């Protein structure tokens, strides 16, 4: 190393190519220390407890199109444990599924044709990710270990052949502040920022991390390594920018589509409301007119019957009998008019026909008022006059009441033919009454 050459800025050890070189076969002490910290077991150089690294060409990736932040470091300990170490810069969809597939591939590749299942070794998949995993956000500790356990008896493990270790770097610093002597957390602090003040303190106590830092300095001074690291980092940033742009454009398009859909729903609701209102008004008027006609027919029938009966009784009875019959008729007419008025008013309010309600109420009030006045006057005159005079007065009042009825029907737009059918009067008699 040229001591006169200016010191280069340390490359990020989490970048694919940098991680590959730093933890390669040429640096066995570094990878031994890292794996020992992760597995929490010693790894030394004795014959029956050695570390064998199997780094093939596919692990030595040097092109920017290689998958970003991913490195396979394969190690075999004591000829009993197979290890695959993966470094992932960012979390991506299906990451956990991919890691499980890596484990399955490593586990199944151990058997060759004719081999017995007893040849299968304990296999560990180790994932270090420089990001948070959404499904693990509720777990505070940075390192989690996963095995196949019984659903209710958690202490029972199905097999020790399967294990996945996941380390989330964003959770490391907080955990390290609570336990600075933890070797695994010391290594992760180095990966997070090898130039930090805290890492410089760690190197005074951890010789392996100090060696890794010196090795990283040499790697960082190589121009080819710098160029490759820059290209990979640029590709990662470009991917992040494209993802952000895609999310923004997708949100804008979704918001526009949603706004158009809302406008369409509002317009449809407005048209439906207008159609329902129009239909309600039409049905309301038809029902109101039908009820009005029924009321008029019933009132006419009742008035005709009562008038005939009162006339016959007036002729047959004396002053007291005529008075009693007249009072009964007045009470009945008032009760009927009151019930019909309440029913028609309620229906008019319910159906929303203000015009029909106003006309019907006015007509009913006028009929009640006229009937009351006529009845009272007839009663007074009936008391004062004898039988012949009462008969004459009743006939005259009946004629006047009929005249008023025909006048109100004409005001409501009922033609002469309909009035003639309702009252039994001729057109000439109706015209004569209203001239």
Task: State residue 365's pLDDT score.
Answer: 73
Q: Which of 131-145, 150-164, 205-219, 332-346 has the lowest mean pLDDT?
A: 332-346
Q: Which residue has the higher pLDDT, 334 or 164?
A: 164
On whether both 326 and 405 belong to a single domain, the answer is yes
Task: Give the β-pairing of 81-88 and 122-129.
Answer: parallel
Domain boundary among 197, 221, 245: 221
Residue percentage of the chain with pLDDT more than 90: 28
Tokens 């008022």, located at residue = 369
Task: State residue 162's pLDDT score.
Answer: 96
Average pLDDT over residues 112-129: 92
On whether both 173 and 80 belong to a single domain, the answer is yes
Dihedral sign, Cα of residue 263, residue 268, residue 271, residue 276: negative
Q: Which residues of 115-145 are buried (b: 16+ CB within 10 A; e: fewer)?
A: eeeeeebbbbbbbbbbeebeebeeeeebbee
Give the Cα separation of 104 and 111 in Å (integer): 12
Residue 230 lies in a domain: no
141 in Cβ contact with 150 (< 8 Å): no
pLDDT band at 319 (very low <50, low <70, confident <90, very high): low
* CA nearest neighbour of 67 among 22, 16, 102: 16
Q: Which residue has the higher pLDDT, 188 or 324?
A: 188
Q: What are the tens digits of pLDDT across the range 387-409?
A: 677 678 777 877 887 788 878 87
Task: State residue 10's pLDDT score.
Answer: 87
Give the Cα separation of 189 and 202 in Å (integer): 9
pLDDT band at 59 (very low <50, low <70, confident <90, very high): very low
Secondary structure (3-state) at 113: coil
Q: Which residue has the higher pLDDT, 164 or 223?
A: 164
Average pLDDT over residues 70-90: 80
Q: What are the tens digits of pLDDT across the range 225-248?
A: 666 666 666 666 666 666 666 666
Task: State residue 71's pLDDT score.
Answer: 41
* CA nearest neighbour of 23 among 58, 65, 62, 55: 55
Residue 6 lies in a domain: no
366: exposed, middle or buried (C-beta count within 10 Å: 0-12, 13-18, 19+)? middle
Domain enclosing residue 321, as ranges: 284-433
Give the Cα separation of 275 and 269 in Å (integer): 10
Measured at the CA of 335, the angle between CA 333 and CA 336, to 5 degrees, comes to: 65
Task: State residue 220's pLDDT score.
Answer: 86
Q: Half-sphere exposure of 54 toward its Cβ, with a 13 Å CA cutoff?
A: 10
Q: Which residue has the higher pLDDT, 48 or 258?
A: 258
Average pLDDT over residues 75-101: 88
On whether both 202 and 289 belong to a single domain, the answer is no
Structural domain tally of the chain? Answer: 2
On whether both 77 and 161 belong to a single domain, the answer is yes
Q: What are the tens digits of pLDDT across the range 353-376?
A: 566 557 657 766 776 677 667 656
On whether both 182 and 33 belong to a single domain, the answer is yes
pLDDT band at 29 (very low <50, low <70, confident <90, very high): confident
Task: State residue 402's pLDDT score.
Answer: 79
Chain CA centroid to CA 151, Å: 34
Average pLDDT over residues 283-288: 66
Chain CA centroid to CA 412, Å: 56
On whether both 213 and 293 belong to a single domain, the answer is no
On whether both 55 and 153 belong to a single domain, the answer is yes
Q: What is the mean pLDDT of the chain?
A: 75
For residue 310, is pLDDT > 80?
Answer: no
On whether both 216 and 359 belong to a single domain, the answer is no
Give the Cα separation of 432 and 417 in Å (integer): 15
Residue 271 lies in a domain: no
Task: State residue 416's pLDDT score.
Answer: 82
Q: Is the pTM of this model over 0.75?
A: no
């Amino acid at each position: 190393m040229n001591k006169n050459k200016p010191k280069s800025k340390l490359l990020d050890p989490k970048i694919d190519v940098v991680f590959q070189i730093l933890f390669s076969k040429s640096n066995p002490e570094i990878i031994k220390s890292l794996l020992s910290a992760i597995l929490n077991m010693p790894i030394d150089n004795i014959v029956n407890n050695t570390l064998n690294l199997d780094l093939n060409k596919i692990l030595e990736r040097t092109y920017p199109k290689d998958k970003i932040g991913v490195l396979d470091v394969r190690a075999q300990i004591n000829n009993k444990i197979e290890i695959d170490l993966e470094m992932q810069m960012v979390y991506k969809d299906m990451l956990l599924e991919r890691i499980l597939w890596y484990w399955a591939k490593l586990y199944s590749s151990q058997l060759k044709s004719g081999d017995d299942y007893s040849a299968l070794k304990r296999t560990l998949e180790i994932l270090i990710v420089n990001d948070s995993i959404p499904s693990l956000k509720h777990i505070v500790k940075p390192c989690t270990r996963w095995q196949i356990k019984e659903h209710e008896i958690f202490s029972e493990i199905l097999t020790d052949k399967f294990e996945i270790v996941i380390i989330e770097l964003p959770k490391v610093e907080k955990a390290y502040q609570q336990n600075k002597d933890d070797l695994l957390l010391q290594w992760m602090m180095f990966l997070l920022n090898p130039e930090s003040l805290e890492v410089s303190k760690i190197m005074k106590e951890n010789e392996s991390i100090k060696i890794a830092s010196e090795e990283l300095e040499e790697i960082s001074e190589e121009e080819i390594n710098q160029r490759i690291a820059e290209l990979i980092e640029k590709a990662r940033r470009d991917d992040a920018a494209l993802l952000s742009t895609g999310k923004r454009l997708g949100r804008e398009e979704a918001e526009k589509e949603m706004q158009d859909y809302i406008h369409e729903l509002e317009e449809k609701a407005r048209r439906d409301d207008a159609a329902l209102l129009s239909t309600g008004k039409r049905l309301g008027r038809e029902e109101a007119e039908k009820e009005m006609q029924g009321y008029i027919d019933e009132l006419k029938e009742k008035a005709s019957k009562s008038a005939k009966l009162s006339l016959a009784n007036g002729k047959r009875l004396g002053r007291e009998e005529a008075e009693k019959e007249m009072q009964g008729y007045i009470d009945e007419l008032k009760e009927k008019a009151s019930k019909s008025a309440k029913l028609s008013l309620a229906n008019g309010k319910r159906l929303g026909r203000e015009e029909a309600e106003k006309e019907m109420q006015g007509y009913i009030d006028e009929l009640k008022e006229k009937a009351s006045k006529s009845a009272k006057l007839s009663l007074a005159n009936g008391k004062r006059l004898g039988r012949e005079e009462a008969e004459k007065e009743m006939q005259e009042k009946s004629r006047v009441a009929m005249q008023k009825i025909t006048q109100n029907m004409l005001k409501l737009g009922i033609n002469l033919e309909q009035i003639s059918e309702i009252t039994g009067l001729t057109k000439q008699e109706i015209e004569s009454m209203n001239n």
